[in-house]
Amino acid sequence: MREAVSEAVSTVGAGVLGAGEVIYGDGGGMTPIAEEAARAARVLHPEDHRMPRPARRRVITVANQKGGVGKTTSTVNLAAALALHGARVLVVDLDPQGNASTALGVDHRSGVPSIYEVLIGELTLDQAAQVCDRSQDLLCVPATIDLAGAEIELVSMMNRESRLRQALSTEALDRLDVDYVLVDCPPSLGLLTLNAMVAAPEVLIPIQCEYYALEGLSQLLSNIGLVQSHLNPSLHVSTILLTMYDGRTKLADQVTHEVRNHFGDLVLRTVIPRSVKVSEAPGFGQTVLTYDPGSRGAMSYLDAAREFAMRAAVAERRTESAAASTTGDHG
Ligand SMILES: Nc1ncnc2c1ncn2[C@@H]1O[C@H](COP(=O)(O)OP(=O)(O)OP(=O)(O)O)[C@@H](O)[C@H]1O
Ligand SMILES: [Mg+2]
């Protein structure tokens, strides 16, 4: 299994970031109290700590066919953190469970314009998008229960695997004026997840810090490899996020260690702790960032979002300077 994972990683994740690069510090020499105070300030005073907006719009699929690993929680909280800190973000709820829509507090009763109508071609993406109450810069295309039948309906449709890609057209996204699109996938590798992988260049994989964490990953990675070879050459795993870390168990450390060994720099240094506040927030139609901004959960998602934004900005700068030096060589 390990070999399969390593091999698949080297295929799909290669070249995203250089090995051993330090992108984001973890507090350096600060005392724990000072570090916590600084983190709280970052949540509460976003104007002082804006994150870089990406040079180009980023479309990210959040996928893991394993259920309950933190896909939705990570999608909505990363999206909220990015939106709170200067970016404009669209969450596409591609899961018939509609959990992301619930967590963002958007209406997703049956009949509401949703991703279902977008996929079957009745509405454009911007027609189905709703602005979230708590942030003008956070938008959501909700999923209603109608999406439950979509996987079967799509089978007989033309371009069944690229309908989301068509919907995420430059024109529609320009109208929404978003910097990031995060697609929350259902816990399966069916046609909906396939649509998400065809629509996005980046995949973010949340991995829960528990015993079976790596189980099923080789299948996920080989599917990503297949989509990359046949349908979407730009698809790659850009980010792995460790979730629900419980510092009281040795197991969580072992899993963290093992995942970092396999995936190296693809893994964000920020780890999301298990936190009651994180699990309570969706019940109030909120992300943890607004539900309890001072909590460890909120701070960790803010840190993860910052790292996610910063490492892309660093990679972008590196590409630009390489291009500039190549031009210089020829000039
Ligand atoms: N950091 C955390 N601390 C505590 N609870 C968490 C944390 N992250 C997620 N949870 C809880 O774990 C459960 C699963 O999380 P989530 O719904 O985000 O997973 P998922 O991968 O989207 O699930 P599914 O596969 O069903 O779509 C939820 O009840 C959520 O509130
Ligand atoms: Mg989910």
Kindly report which listed range (35-44, 110-119, 262-271, 287-296) carries the lowest average pLDDT score: 35-44
In a domain, 323, yes or no: no
- Protein residue closest via CA to atom 9 of ligand 1: 70
pLDDT at 11 over 60: no
Q: How much is the pTM?
A: 0.88
CATH number of the domain that residue 105 is part of:
3.40.50.300
Protein residue with least CA distance to atom 13, ligand 1: 68
**DSSP H/E element including 131:** strand 130-131
Cα of 97 from ligand 2 centre, angstroms: 7
pLDDT in tens, 174-213: 999 999 999 999 999 999 999 999 999 999 999 999 888 8
SS3 246: coil
Q: What is the pLDDT of residue 48?
A: 62
Give the CA count within 13 Å in the CB-facing half-sphere of 52. Answer: 15
Tokens of 240: 């792995």
Residue 120 belongs to domain spanning: 2-9+32-314
Cβ of 187 less than 6 Å from ligand 1: yes
> Is 27 part of any domain?
no
- Model confidence at 5, in pLDDT bands (50, 70, 90)? very low
Q: Indicate whether 24 belongs to any domain.
A: no
Enter the tokens of residue 24: 């984001």
Nearest to 261 by CA among 90, 19, 18: 19
Q: Where are the alpha helices (DSSP H) in 129-216?
A: 150-155, 163-167, 170-176, 191-199
- Which residues, in sequence order, are bridge partners of residue 142? none
Number of compact structural domains in the chain: 1
Residue 80 within a domain: yes
